[in-house]
């Protein structure tokens, strides 16, 4: 089985959850100023694992979509991707073709919003590392470039409260799907519309799919991984 590497010591569960040293783990806080300005305190790995285990089945489903609206450097999204890639390996590991396509689908189903540019860059890089070491692809490989393109669209710098990007425009997320035979579908939706959908679920209006909140802001022709990379 291909290994999906764990990334830092701060991901290890401490001997006791009440260990007072946890509050001074340097990797959980970058600076006091950032804590004061942005509430930037990262979640320790053992707590992330416990929380993800509450939705274990979903984390192990390749095409379940996860959005972290204050994603930091990816302390939740990285282990979600690792779990998805374990599922890829178990279900599609015997076929190189399927393994690559489903690994790309796994990364397509991970979304984040983050206010600070350096955290956005770290989050994308951390996710890319996990993907690249799983598929053993170099930076020049089209699969690496395809994953980079996906992450550039899925991990957005912006304000999750106002649901706008750095330019003040509404945040837009791509909804990716793998249709088989090497073809991916992409349709873009506004984040504010996606959040409104929940209030329609279970109501008579759920069937009105022509409503603007179900209408993509943009649809793309079917694409191969090479076309996404390009
Ligand atoms: C408490 S940290 C949590 C980071 C990560 N989710 C974790 O658990 O390790 C909060 C993060 O949200 C970011 N943030 C703060 N306000 C935000 C906003 N309005 N929209 C998006 N991100 C925000 C901060 O920059 C910081 O990285």
Q: What is the pLDDT of residue 197?
A: 76
| Domain annotation for the chain: domains and CATH numbers | 38-166+221-229 (3.40.50)
Percent of the chain with pLDDT over 70: 83
The runs of H, that is alpha helices, within 136-224 are: 142-154, 191-200
**Is the pLDDT confidence value at 108 over 60?**
yes
Nearest atom (ligand 1) to Cα of 116: 25
114 pocket-lining for ligand 1 (C-beta < 6 Å) = yes
Q: Poorest-confidence range of 120-124, 163-167, 214-218?
A: 214-218
Q: What is the pLDDT of residue 177?
A: 98
Q: Poorest-confidence range of 23-37, 58-72, 110-124, 203-217?
A: 203-217
Ligand 1 centroid to Cα of residue 191, in Å, is 17
The runs of H, that is alpha helices, within 113-208 are: 117-135, 142-154, 191-200
Residue 131 near residue 103, CB atoms below 8 Å: yes
**Is the pLDDT confidence value at 229 over 90?**
yes
DSSP 219: E
Question: Which of 72, 111, 121 is the best mutation target for the ligand 1 pocket, counting ligand atoms within 8 Å of the beta carbon and taking the most?
Answer: 72
Q: Poorest-confidence range of 14-18, 46-50, 70-74?
A: 14-18
Residue nearest atom 3 in ligand 1 by C-alpha distance: 42
Nearest atom (ligand 1) to Cα of 119: 27
Please count the residues of the chain: 230
**Per-residue tokens: 122:** 């770290």
Ligand 1 centroid to Cα of residue 97, in Å, is 36
Nearest atom (ligand 1) to Cα of 161: 19
103 pocket-lining for ligand 1 (C-beta < 6 Å) = no
Strand 183-190 and strand 172-180: the pairing is antiparallel
Report the alpha-carbon angle 75-79-85, nearest 5. 150
Q: Which residue has the tokens 């959040």?
A: 195
Residue nearest atom 10 in ligand 1 by C-alpha distance: 40
Nearest atom (ligand 1) to Cα of 48: 8
Residue 13 near residue 49, CB atoms below 8 Å: yes
pTM over 0.85: yes
CA distance 75 to 89: 22
Rounded mean pLDDT, 101-123: 98
Strand 164-165 and strand 155-159: the pairing is antiparallel
85 pocket-lining for ligand 1 (C-beta < 6 Å) = no
Ligand 1 centroid to Cα of residue 73, in Å, is 9
Residue nearest atom 4 in ligand 1 by C-alpha distance: 72
**Per-residue tokens: 16:** 């006791």
**Is the pLDDT confidence value at 137 over 70?**
yes
Ligand 1 centroid to Cα of residue 182, in Å, is 35
Rounded mean pLDDT, 171-195: 96
Residue nearest atom 27 in ligand 1 by C-alpha distance: 72
CA distance 116 to 152: 15
Average predicted confidence (pLDDT) for the chain: 88
């Amino acid at each position: 089985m291909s290994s999906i590497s764990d990334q830092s010591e701060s991901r290890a569960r401490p001997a006791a959850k009440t260990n007072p040293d946890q509050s001074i783990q340097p990797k959980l806080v970058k600076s006091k100023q950032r804590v004061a300005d942005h509430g930037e305190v990262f979640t320790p790995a053992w707590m992330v694992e416990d929380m993800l285990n509450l939705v274990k089945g979903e984390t192990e489903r390749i095409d379940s979509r996860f959005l972290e609206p204050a994603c930091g450097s990816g302390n939740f999204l990285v282990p979600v991707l690792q779990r998805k890639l374990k599922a890829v390996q178990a279900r599609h590991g015997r076929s190189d073709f399927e393994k690559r396509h489903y690994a790309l689908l796994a990364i397509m189903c991970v979304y984040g919003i983050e206010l600070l540019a350096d955290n956005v860059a770290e989050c994308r890089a951390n996710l890319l590392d996990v993907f690249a070491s799983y598929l053993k692809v170099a930076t020049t490989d089209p699969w690496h470039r395809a994953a980079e393109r996906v992450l550039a669209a899925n991990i957005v710098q912006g304000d999750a409260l106002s649901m706008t990007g750095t330019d003040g425009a509404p945040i837009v997320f791509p909804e990716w799907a793998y249709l088989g035979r090497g073809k991916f579908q992409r349709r873009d939706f506004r984040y504010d519309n996606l959040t409104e959908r929940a209030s329609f679920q279970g109501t008579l209006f759920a069937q009105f799919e022509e409503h603007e909140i179900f209408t993509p802001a943009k649809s793309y022709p079917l694409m191969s991984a090479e076309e996404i990379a390009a």
